[in-house]
Structure formats: C-alpha cells, structure tokens
C-alpha cells in the first residue's frame, strides 16, 4: 500500500501493549483509520523477537509495504528501549527498532506508546490548538503519560511510575488493569483516579488533562466525578485508537510522508 500522488497519505500504525498488539492503516492527514483494527494477543514471553513476529503478522495482514509506526510501553531513545514495566525484561537496552525492522523488512519508527497517543490528541484530538501545559494519561495495562507544553511534546515522561499512594506506584493503583482485576465499580475506582489526578495537580499544575486508553470510551462515567483539581479533564477524542494514529503520524514525519506543522 504505497502512497500515490493525489491519493490520501497513508502509513501503517501498530500499537504494542502488555496484553494485545493492534494495528491499522491511517490517513495521516486526517487521523482516520482506513480499515478495521486487527488485534493479536501479546505473546508470552513478550521478548523483542516474539513481538516482532506478531508485528510482521499484522504487516502481512494488511499487505503493507512502506514506513510503519510502532509504539511500545517503555522509554524509547534513538530506537533503543530503556525500560520494560509490563513486558519481558529483555527489552531493557534492546535495539528494539532495529530488531523489529529486521524481522518485518520495512522501515520502522519506534516510540513510546503514550507519546504516540499524546501526539495524536495534539494533532487531531482534544489537545488540538491547546497552549499551556497539557497532560495525556493513558490507562491500560499500566499508566502512560505524555506531556505537551505550548504544542511541543516532551517525550518519555513516566508519570504512571510516580510513588502513589504512599507505598506503591500509580499504575498499580488506578490503571485500567487494576480496575478490571479488582472488578472495581466506578464508584470505587473514581476516588482512586481522582486522588492520582490531585497528586499530578500538586506536582505539575497542568492546564488540561486528557484521559486515554480503553477506559476513555466511558469518559462520562469518570470525568464528572473528578473533584478538587485546578484543571479541566476530558476523555481522549481518539480513545483507544490514539496510539495507532500517533505511531503512524510519527513514522510519516520521520520518513518524509508528511511534514510536521510548525
């Protein structure tokens, strides 16, 4: 599916998570998915080589040739994964971008999953046109974060790993997985999320916070219940597709399919 003059500019986006790996071709000029998402369970153990093979399956499913954006739930610097919170520890200091590219045989751009979601929300979603300090928090297997300051993405923040409450980390307290694992009703989960947002308010004083991940489909269940904070809260416009869209967009910028807006 190479890009042709006069046709929409399209890049394949793939979002690697702790429980599933999903992808779709994306019109990087509009943020629209051009096919139904395809999802495959994350392999166990989720080593770089095993995950790369699943990425290749998705590439073959879409019969894709060309640049591919891929997200990963870790600190990503120059194609190297420097952490591994919810995946196999073999990702730590792995040349992950090159490993995936070698298996897939296509040009790859690897980035942090929450950064991808933040980029998508900045360009196409709830953060579009917003200045000041915008924080995107993704609630899934863990908690990811993307910080956007006056329209510029500050990469590789890890606010899901803040010590909260006093004897643990945030993503072990109020992630989407925690809600599911403990079968928490909204009335029990919302105070956890609210407490975490109050903690972020104390530390960062954001102007606007966007909640993404799978939970964002139910924004009406939690957004009105967030109290005692000095910022606006909203659900992610792109919901759980934000990672796919942001991955495709970053690859489009990297490989010259699209020029970033100034």
Residue 1 placed within a domain: no
- Radius of gyration of the chain from its Cα atoms, rounded to whole angstroms: 18
Could you tell me if 250 and 217 lie in one domain?
A: no
The rounded distance, in Å, linking the Cα atoms of 152 and 148 is: 5
Q: Both 162 and 71 in a single domain?
A: no
Per-residue pLDDT of 144-187, as tens digits, reads 999 999 999 999 999 999 999 988 999 999 999 999 999 999 99
Mean pLDDT, the chain, integer = 95
Whether residues 177 and 200 fall in one domain: yes
Q: Who has greater pLDDT, 18 or 22? A: 22
pLDDT of residue 23 exceeding 80: yes
Query: By residue range, what is the domain housing residue 231?
Result: 129-236
Q: Does 151 fall in a domain?
A: yes
Per-residue pLDDT, averaged over 117-141, amounts to 96
Write the pLDDT tens digit of every residue in 178-201: 999 999 999 999 999 999 999 999
Is residue 41 in a domain? Answer: yes
The answer on pLDDT for 130 being more than 80 is yes
Render the chain in DSSP notation, one character per residue.
Answer: ----TTSPPEEEEEEE-SSEEEEEEEETTTTEESS--EEEEPPSS--HHHHHHHHHHHHHHTT--S-EEEEESS-EETTEE---SSS-GGGTTB-HHHHHHHHH-S-EEEEEHHHHHHHHHHHHSTTTT--SEEEEEEESSSEEEEEEETTEEE----GGGSB-STTSBTHHHHSHHHHHHTT--HHHHHHHHHHHHHHHHHHH--SEEEEESGGGGGHHHHGGG--S-SSEEEE-TTGGGHHHHHHHHHHHHHTTSSPPP-
% residues pLDDT > 90 (the chain): 91
**Shared-domain flag, residues 246 and 212:** no
Joined tokens for residue 157? 């923040």
Q: Is 262 within the bounds of a domain?
A: no
Same structural domain for residues 77 and 153? no
Which residue carries 């998402």 as its tokens?
37
The whole-angstrom separation of Cα 74 and Cα 79 is: 11
Domain co-membership, 92 together with 138: no
Widest pairwise Cα distance in the chain: 56
**pLDDT, average across residues 240-261:** 95
pLDDT on residue 3: 64
Is 5 domain-assigned? Answer: no
Look at residue 261 and tell me if it is in a domain. Answer: no
CATH number at residue 172: 3.30.420.40
Query: For residues 74 and 11, is the Cβ–Cβ distance under 8 A?
Result: no
Task: Indicate the number of domains in the chain.
Answer: 2
Confidence band (pLDDT; 50, 70, 90) for 67? very high
| Residue 26 token pair | 């994306």
| pTM of full prediction above 0.85 | yes
With cut-offs at 50, 70 and 90, classify the pLDDT of residue 18.
Answer: confident
232 and 249 housed in the same domain = no
């Amino acid at each position: 599916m190479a890009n042709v003059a006069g046709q929409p500019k399209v890049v394949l986006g793939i979002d690697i998570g702790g429980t599933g790996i999903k992808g779709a071709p994306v019109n990087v000029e509009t943020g629209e998915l051009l096919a139904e998402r395809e999802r495959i369970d994350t392999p166990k153990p989720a080593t770089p080589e095993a995950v790369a093979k699943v990425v290749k399956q998705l590439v073959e499913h879409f019969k894709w040739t060309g640049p591919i954006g891929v997200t990963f739930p870790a600190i990503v610097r120059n194609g190297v994964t420097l952490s591994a919170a919810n995946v196999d520890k073999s990702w730590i200091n792995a040349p992950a971008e090159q490993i995936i590219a070698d298996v897939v045989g296509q040009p790859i751009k690897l980035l942090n999953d929450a950064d991808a979601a933040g980029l998508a929300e900045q360009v196409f979603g709830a953060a579009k046109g917003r200045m000041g300090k915008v924080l995107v928090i993704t609630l899934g297997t863990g908690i990811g974060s993307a910080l956007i300051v006056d329209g510029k993405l500050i990469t590789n923040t890890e606010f899901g790993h803040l010590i909260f409450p006093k004897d643990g980390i945030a993503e072990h307290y109020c992630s989407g997985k925690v809600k599911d694992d403990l079968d928490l009703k909204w009335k029990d989960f919302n105070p956890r999320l609210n407490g975490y947002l109050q903690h972020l308010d104390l530390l960062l004083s954001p102007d606007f916070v966007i909640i993404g991940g799978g939970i964002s489909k139910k924004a009406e269940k939690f957004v009105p219940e967030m109290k005692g904070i000095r910022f606006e809260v909203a659900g992610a416009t792109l919901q759980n597709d934000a990672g796919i869209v942001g991955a495709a967009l970053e690859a489009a910028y990297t490989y010259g399919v699209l020029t970033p807006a100034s």
